[in-house]
């Protein structure tokens, strides 16, 4: 029997090796140009790696026929065999892991999947830039591995999504880092640097070469998909200059200037009447001119066709093509440019120079990816293989992100953590629960919960020592092209929760698996619901993370990156883009910065099994003198408050004005923990249009019980103490502000 077993294992081992060999043999090599074994390529200047990229691209574009040029303006670009240029797919996805969604990635080969990190909204709740960088780095490594294995048709990935989570009903809000522009910008910078192969600090260690190409989307003011029949494909977002300046544009500016993203995607919608992909001021003057963007700009899929078909902005398909290329867009996800560019040229609506401009940007990125340097497996990043996909380190990173992102919303009488030794039985109930315990009931067949088996669930709850309800949403409720119309839990979920809680022996634990906020006021105020955990969409290690937190193996420290609104907020039209409240009409404003209505849970809310104290150190300056650093006169507004334009101060002077704020953080509990310290600023006398408060810094801190740490925040008056006026110009006003960390405040006076 033992011999048979040995032979069986040996035979299986040999068979696996044979199958592995077959899969390697069947695996196609990665696609690349300038094959060194092809004598023809040696005569092409675009294959000479010693030449600068712009010179190589110029040579390549000059060799293309008009039809060849046009063929390269769409996401599925065909090969140019006579020049040895392979086909290329621009559309791949990697929001929280390399994805098979899109046309560029195949998992039918030696690599059958990639690490699934938590959805972005949960990673954002860690407020940990270093973690975001490491996630981006891991995804970028796995992307390059898939390419090197011949399972990728391209190395351009349309991530991250850094739109502001303006409205809680938005179906794609969970793809974003939340509602705060500073957080969205910091996330963009960290993720892009890691993904593209730079250091955390942004040092260009690879001389412009890209591990993988990141694309910040959706530019700009895009946060409505399909709400009550109003579609993103025809929506005209009416946005004030003020809101553009201090809410919608800052994440993209950070992504481009600090993150040095190599891609940007223009969004479906119009902004103030102009389709984003046809907006010259947006794409060329702002992104490329003011912010110094060097990369390619893609449309969202079919976003060019809708300029004619839906927006009715262009009179003809040829006009739409001319509009987007003249605006500065480079590649069309779709076939519109392939179909109508030639006729646009023939009708003299489009000069050839605009096509050459677009091709220069497109081929520059492909060259920076090393796809025109010969066999990429023998170049920089060529040693990244399948053994670096789904590694133990990446799984641990996914678990770390889930652990540190999960938010403890409520914990009455310290119900959590549960004691393993004292918990004799546990019931898991809910449509988002897994079967892994003795007592289990799904409660509802599906998340929409049109019918709940309440009696059966109650029966199980009565038998258990403790009950955990796993409820929430899924992609049937919130997804691309589908916004919510309700903020409550779907169907009979609330009735199920109430019935189980009433029947249980002890207060129950409610775990919410969802991306967007839900109105769980009933649970917040119900004594029989002792604890509430928000788990977001926690990725492949999410189940482990939730269990570890419930049983005290990990101390939760995440904080909400979005405001949780009550159900009444659905009375606010989702189409109203205004951030600031309007007292005259009762419009409440949006996000923690401006919303003046009731909240279920606030932005930044999150409990811990420990307690923490915070104190500002007196070395933080209490007066900021700006009057002696420049000679320009100050301005005075209608409110008789003096202010100074940031643009008048200048970049160099702004740099000299930076100052440090020091905060002592102490873990006053009896359990080690990690949590983010959030620093806000608020005006002593806020005027109409000013934020209630504004996040200006955040750092993640790990402390043992009774341990202290000194946290330094470096602030710039030009960035952190300025406000946008109605024209979108950033101004520094005189007067007092208060720096705020939790319950502690520190006053500083700006003197002009």
Could you please report the per-residue DSSP string of 624-685?
EE-TTS--SPPEE-TTS-EEEEHHHH-HHHHHHT-EEEEEEEEE-SSS-EEEEEEEEEEESS
| Residue scoring higher pLDDT (308 or 689) | 308
By the 10 Å C-beta count (0-12 exposed, 13-18 middle, 19+ buried), 724 is classed as buried
The 3-state DSSP class for residue 158 equals: coil
Cis status of the peptide bond prior to 160, with omega within 30 of 0: yes
Fold of the domain built from segment(s) 45-395: TIM Barrel (3.20.20)
Q: String of b and e for 603-615 (b: at least 16 CB within 10 Å)?
A: bbbbbbbbebebe
For residues 187 and 130, the answer to whether their CB atoms sit within 8 Å is no
Would you put residue 178 in left (φ > 0), alpha (ψ -120 to 50) or beta?
left
Catalytically active residues, by annotation: 300
pLDDT tens-digit map of 161-204:
999 999 999 999 999 999 999 999 999 999 999 999 999 999 98
Candidate CATH numbers 3.40.640.10, 3.40.50.1700, 1.20.1530.20, 3.40.50.970; the one for domain 407-534+540-571: 3.40.50.1700
Taking the whole predicted model, whether its pTM rises above 0.75 is answered as yes
Q: Please state whether beta strands 642-645 and 635-636 pair in parallel, antiparallel, or not at all (unpaired).
A: antiparallel
Candidate CATH numbers 3.30.420.10, 2.60.40.10, 3.30.160.20, 1.10.510.10; the one for domain 610-750: 2.60.40.10
Q: How confident is the model at residue 236 (pLDDT cuts 50, 70, 90)?
A: very high
Tokens found for residue 437: 């315990």
- For residue 421, pLDDT over 60 is answered with yes
15-29, 178-192, 356-370, 552-566: least confidently modelled range: 15-29
Question: Domain spans of the chain?
Answer: 45-395, 407-534+540-571, 610-750
How many Å apart are CA 496 and CA 446, to the nearest integer?
13
pLDDT tens-digit map of 604-653:
999 999 999 999 998 999 999 988 765 555 565 555 678 899 998 989 99
pLDDT tens-digit map of 59-113:
999 999 999 999 999 999 999 999 999 999 999 999 999 999 999 999 999 999 9
For residues 643 and 634, the answer to whether their CB atoms sit within 8 Å is yes
The 3-state DSSP class for residue 197 equals: coil
């Amino acid at each position: 029997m033992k011999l048979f077993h040995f032979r069986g294992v040996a035979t299986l081992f040999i068979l696996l090796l044979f199958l592995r060999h077959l899969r390697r043999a069947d695996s196609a090599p990665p696609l690349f140009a300038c094959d060194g074994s092809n004598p023809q390529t040696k005569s092409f200047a675009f294959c000479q790696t010693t030449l600068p990229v712009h010179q190589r691209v110029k040579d390549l574009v000059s060799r293309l026929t008009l039809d060849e040029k046009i063929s390269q303006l769409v996401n599925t670009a065909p090969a140019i065999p006579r020049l040895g240029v392979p086909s290329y797919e621009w559309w791949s996805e990697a929001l929280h892991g390399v994805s098979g969604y899109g046309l560029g990635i195949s998992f039918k080969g030696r690599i059958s999947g990639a690490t699934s990190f938590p959805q972005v909204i949960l990673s954002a709740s860690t407020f940990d830039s270093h973690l975001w960088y490491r996630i981006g780095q891991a995804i970028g490594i796995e992307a390059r591995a898939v390419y090197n294995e011949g399972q990728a048709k391209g190395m351009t990935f349309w991530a991250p999504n850094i739109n502001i989570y303006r409205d809680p009903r938005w179906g794609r809000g969970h793809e974003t880092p939340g509602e705060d522009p500073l957080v969205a910008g910091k996330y963009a910078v960290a993720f892009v640097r890691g993904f593209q192969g730079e250091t955390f600090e942004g040092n260009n260690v690879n001389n412009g070469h890209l591990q993988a190409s990141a694309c910040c989307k959706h530019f700009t003011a895009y946060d409505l998909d399909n709400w009550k029949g109003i579609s993103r494909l025809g929506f005209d977002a009416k946005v004030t200059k003020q809101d553009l300046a201090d809410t919608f544009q800052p994440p993209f500016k950070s992504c481009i200037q600090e993150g040095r993203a190599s891609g940007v995607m223009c969004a479906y919608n119009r902004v103030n009447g102009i389709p984003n992909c046809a907006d010259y001021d947006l794409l060329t003057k702002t992104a490329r001119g003011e912010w110094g963007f060097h990369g390619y700009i893609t449309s969202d899929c079919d976003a060019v066709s809708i300029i004619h078909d839906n927006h009715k902005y262009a009179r003809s398909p040829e006009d739409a093509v001319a509009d987007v290329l003249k605006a500065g867009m480079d590649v069309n996800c779709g076939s519109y440019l392939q179909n109508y560019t030639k006729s646009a040229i023939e009708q003299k609506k489009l000069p050839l120079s605009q096509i050459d401009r677009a091709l220069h940007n497109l081929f520059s990125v492909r060259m920076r990816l090393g796809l025109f340097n010969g066999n990429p497996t023998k170049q920089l990043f060529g040693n990244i293989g399948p053994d670096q996909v789904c590694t133990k380190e990446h799984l641990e990173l996914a678990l770390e992100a889930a652990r540190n992102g999960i938010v403890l919303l409520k914990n009455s009488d310290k119900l959590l953590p549960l004691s393993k030794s004292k918990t004799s039985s546990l019931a898991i109930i809910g449509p988002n629960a897994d079967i892994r315990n003795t007592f289990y009931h799904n409660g509802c067949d599906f998340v929409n919960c049109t019918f709940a088996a309440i009696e059966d669930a109650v029966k199980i709850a009565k038998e258990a020592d403790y009950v955990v309800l796993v409820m929430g949403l899924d992609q049937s409720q919130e997804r691309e092209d589908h916004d919510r119309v309700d903020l409550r839990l779907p169907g009979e979920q609330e009735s199920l929760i109430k019935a189980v809680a009433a029947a249980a022996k002890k207060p129950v634990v409610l775990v919410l698996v969802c991306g967007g906020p839900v109105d769980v006021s009933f649970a917040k105020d119900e004594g029989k619901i002792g604890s509430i955990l928000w788990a977001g969409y926690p990725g492949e290690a999410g189940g482990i993370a939730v269990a570890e937190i419930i049983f005290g193996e990990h101390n939760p420290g995440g904080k909400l990156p979005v405001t949780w609104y009550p159900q009444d907020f659905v009375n606010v039209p989702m189409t109203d883009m205004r951030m600031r409240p309007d007292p005259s009409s009762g419009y409440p404003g949006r996000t923690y910065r401006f919303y003046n209505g009731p909240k279920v849970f606030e932005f930044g809310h999150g409990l811990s099994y420990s307690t923490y104290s915070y104190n500002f150190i007196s070395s933080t300056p209490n007066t900021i003198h700006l009057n002696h650093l420049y000679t320009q006169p100050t301005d005075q507004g209608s409110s008789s408050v003096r202010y100074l334009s940031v643009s008048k101060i200048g970049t160099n002077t702004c740099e000299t004005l930076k100052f440090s704020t020091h905060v002592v953080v102490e873990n006053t509990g009896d359990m080690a923990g990690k949590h983010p310290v959030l620093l806000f600023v608020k005006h002593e006398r806020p005027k109409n249009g000013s934020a209630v408060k504004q996040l200006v810094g955040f750092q993640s801190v790990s402390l043992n019980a009774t341990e202290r740490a000194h946290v330094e925040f470096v602030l710039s008056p030009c960035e952190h103490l300025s406000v946008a006026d109605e024209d979108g110009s950033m101004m520094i006003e005189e007067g007092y502000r208060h720096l705020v960390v939790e319950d502690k405040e520190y006053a500083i006076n700006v003197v002009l």
